[in-house]
Chain A
């Protein structure tokens, strides 16, 4: 590979902490690589594991899940549920042949813009190391397998 591989990472953020940390990183002009694209959820507890599978199936090379620190959830304790799902999800994707390092859980409070930017920077490098995921993409070559994966995920 001559050209440097630029991974695409989908990031799920919590409206109350990590999304605000991302805002804060912006306001403070802290730099991180442009490989991450964020989705705002109300809470990390909203994270349905199929979101992650869908993102990976759809071409993302990694997924970052972010939420409030344990004990600081805006909805009291829902980030613990996110943590449980994350731990299970890591095992599941490993069984699917996907390196569990492609899915990462990061705690970031609304004040931790610098921390979030660092985590993003690190993750981009880690995924760059792992290389492209190359899961069959949605309908791009019409292969039945990819459609099956997609249907499985959205069902």
Chain B
């Protein structure tokens, strides 16, 4: 039976038509590919518009098309659009092939005639391939109604709360002993100067007490198995050495613990905690953990002060506790693992780590915080002297070819917040050194104006160095910030008492491993890649895995909260549907052809391939097969075939791309 193929060439405004002669390509398709069962070739300004789709649908109905090739943008953008259009007109959606003549032709080539020729070849490839397609039905996969949120910062908390409030089960996994994330470290939030803890802790408490949320703090994901709708996640719950069923969180243990430890995480190295600790007073959950690396008992077997003084009955301290591996089944996973602060010691000329009164932004946040190491007093490293002048350096580690080229987004506003706090609490002179002032978003510019009016000094230029080498008597005993003031075109040396480095945000140091674990992609600088940068910023290319907050790129609290809520909406929609359609791209074994050689058996990382000893044949479990096709390529007997990517389809596409057989009627080749 002859097929009837329709070829549709999109102008995409001038995106394609500006480089490719679309009319002639459509005409060529109809004429030259006539022998290849093409019965109609049309071009249209916007194929994806409803009118464009109707054009295709009408042809399917009126001309009885049995195959459709659309030459337009990337299939990653509109494959679904055109498949759905075909489906509406009664044509099986998998008999429609979208070939890219925009991303792969008009946008990357300048020579118009060469681009037009390539477009023809690409369409010819699509036509040959679609002739080999067969009608398929999507796989329906049930969605497990529970969700895992990895990362208990504000983005993860928001996502968890939204889902839990909708009545669905959430597992919130956090690496640290308490949820809260970076936001819990801050004193004030820009631009409203809300107390960070005051707005965060109610959410933390809700997450901690919500009947639908299972908190797994001091826990890390160890392994992820399965696929959308049916993930099995192994979570390692590290031993707290505290029995949470008995512990009341009274705090006597950490009061009595004799071992002080510099807290590199929560206090950013600026303050101390004990070897048994909760990171901060409002921690959720309230139960402490024992840091075995520093605990005297774990080091030399003596002490046990925490156990001795623990007032609960039975005693809450349990030195015998062990890590637990918990397997959790969920349908969707939200990754909200946040960021690391840029390590300012990497810029030695700014003196961080060498000059005592150079502080990182997180250290300064802790210093401003009323529950921080200085009780909120802005003081120098000696912990008593109030600075009379403070320099704040923007873009530390950001917008710099040597470190990170991107803008970290939050540092301008963070620096303005610091400037305001210094002025308000100490009356010191504040000098901001900025490259550009970036105060986009609601009420941010107004905050900048406010700090200007409060008397903050602003010097536009990148700081060359921070030094304690004085050149004049006024500079003696001060930190001198050397910078070019680009507005007056001069080098300036500003002596100050204290320097705050507004360090940029970086992906978590282990972002690449985490991405690999969850099977999602990282950009070159390790931020997780979203499905579409504009239209789908919270999905990933892997079905069932969503991303929220800074894990996707630097962003502030409102944006993180919005993304957390957005992922929740996506997940809830999935759960509501109950099942999801998956591409029926799966491998299967033609049993009669299988010789039982078992070459394919070891190739599948998803253990989808099983061997039947009794019949000496191999079988592929379609639920576990991910459709990579490695076994199809490996089978020496050609006994494994892949729906949607068979050898025949790819051979045909190669022929088409090479413009072979253009003049030959289809039967001649088929026969």
A75 near B626 with CB under 8 A, answer yes
Say which residue of B647, B650, B660 sits within 8 Å of A59 (CB atoms): B660
Question: A-facing mask of B423-451, CB < 8 A → 1, else 0?
Answer: 00000000000000000000000000000
Question: B-facing mask of A94-119, CB < 8 A → 1, else 0?
Answer: 00000000000000011110000100
Say which residue of B105, B524, B627, B647 sits within 8 Å of A34 (CB atoms): B105
B655 near A29 with CB under 8 A, answer no
- Chain A residues within 8 Å of B627, by CB: 42
Cα–Cα distance between A45 and B351 once the two chains are bound (Å):
50
Say which residue of B74, B102, B118, B603 sits within 8 Å of A37 (CB atoms): B118
B653 near A39 with CB under 8 A, answer yes
Cα–Cα distance between A138 and B519 once the two chains are bound (Å):
41
Q: Given A41-B650, A48-B633, A51-B650, check contact A23 B605 (CB 8 Å).
A: no
B104 near A27 with CB under 8 A, answer no
Q: Given A16-B541, A22-B103, A45-B633, check contact A111 B524 (CB 8 Å).
A: yes
B632 proximal to A (CB < 8 A): yes
User: What interface size band does chain B fall in?
Assistant: 35 or more
A117 near B108 with CB under 8 A, answer yes
B103 near A26 with CB under 8 A, answer yes
Say which residue of A51, A59, A85, A112 sits within 8 Å of B524 (CB atoms): A112
Say which residue of B107, B115, B522 sits within 8 Å of A27 (CB atoms): B107
Give min CB distance, A80 to chain B, whole Å. Answer: 10
Cα–Cα distance between A109 and B603 once the two chains are bound (Å):
22
A10 proximal to B (CB < 8 A): yes
A91 proximal to B (CB < 8 A): no
- Chain A residues within 8 Å of B107, by CB: 25-27, 29
- Chain B residues within 8 Å of A110, by CB: 521, 523, 529, 541
Question: A-facing mask of B334-345, CB < 8 A → 1, else 0?
Answer: 000000000000
Cα–Cα distance between A20 and B75 once the two chains are bound (Å):
10
Cα–Cα distance between A28 and B204 once the two chains are bound (Å):
41
A123 proximal to B (CB < 8 A): no
A60 proximal to B (CB < 8 A): yes
B28 proximal to A (CB < 8 A): no
Give min CB distance, A59 to chain B, whole Å. Answer: 5
B651 near A54 with CB under 8 A, answer yes
A32 near B108 with CB under 8 A, answer yes
Cα–Cα distance between A42 and B647 once the two chains are bound (Å):
13
Question: A-facing mask of B639-671, CB < 8 A → 1, else 0?
Answer: 000100101001101110110110000000000
A46 near B658 with CB under 8 A, answer no
- Chain B residues within 8 Å of A58, by CB: 654-655, 658, 660
Cα–Cα distance between A47 and B105 once the two chains are bound (Å):
23
Give min CB distance, B405 to chain A, whole Å. Answer: 13
A22 near B654 with CB under 8 A, answer no
Q: Which of A1-35 contact B (CB under 8 A)?
A: 6, 8, 10, 16-17, 19-20, 22-23, 25-27, 29-34
Q: Given A60-B658, A109-B524, check contact A85 B633 (CB 8 Å).
A: yes
Cα–Cα distance between A148 and B117 once the two chains are bound (Å):
30
- Chain B residues within 8 Å of A72, by CB: 516, 521-522
Cα–Cα distance between A48 and B640 once the two chains are bound (Å):
12
Q: Which of B108, B521, B606 has the most CB of A within 10 A?
A: B108
- Chain A residues within 8 Å of B593, by CB: none
Q: Which of B60-97 contact A (CB under 8 A)?
A: 74-76
Cα–Cα distance between A51 and B628 once the two chains are bound (Å):
16
B121 proximal to A (CB < 8 A): yes
Q: Given A26-B103, A45-B628, A59-B658, check contact A37 B125 (CB 8 Å).
A: yes
Give min CB distance, A35 to chain B, whole Å. Answer: 8
Residue of B nearest to A26 (CB): B103
B108 near A30 with CB under 8 A, answer yes
Cα–Cα distance between A111 and B553 once the two chains are bound (Å):
14
A40 near B108 with CB under 8 A, answer no
Mind listing 26 A-B residue pairs with CB under 8 Å? A6-B114, A10-B654, A10-B658, A16-B521, A19-B76, A20-B76, A23-B103, A26-B100, A26-B107, A27-B103, A27-B107, A32-B108, A39-B650, A39-B654, A42-B585, A55-B654, A58-B658, A58-B660, A74-B541, A76-B606, A81-B630, A109-B522, A109-B524, A110-B541, A111-B524, A138-B661
Nearest 8 pairs of A and B residues by beta carbon:
A26-B103, A46-B629, A45-B630, A43-B628, A75-B628, A26-B107, A48-B633, A76-B605
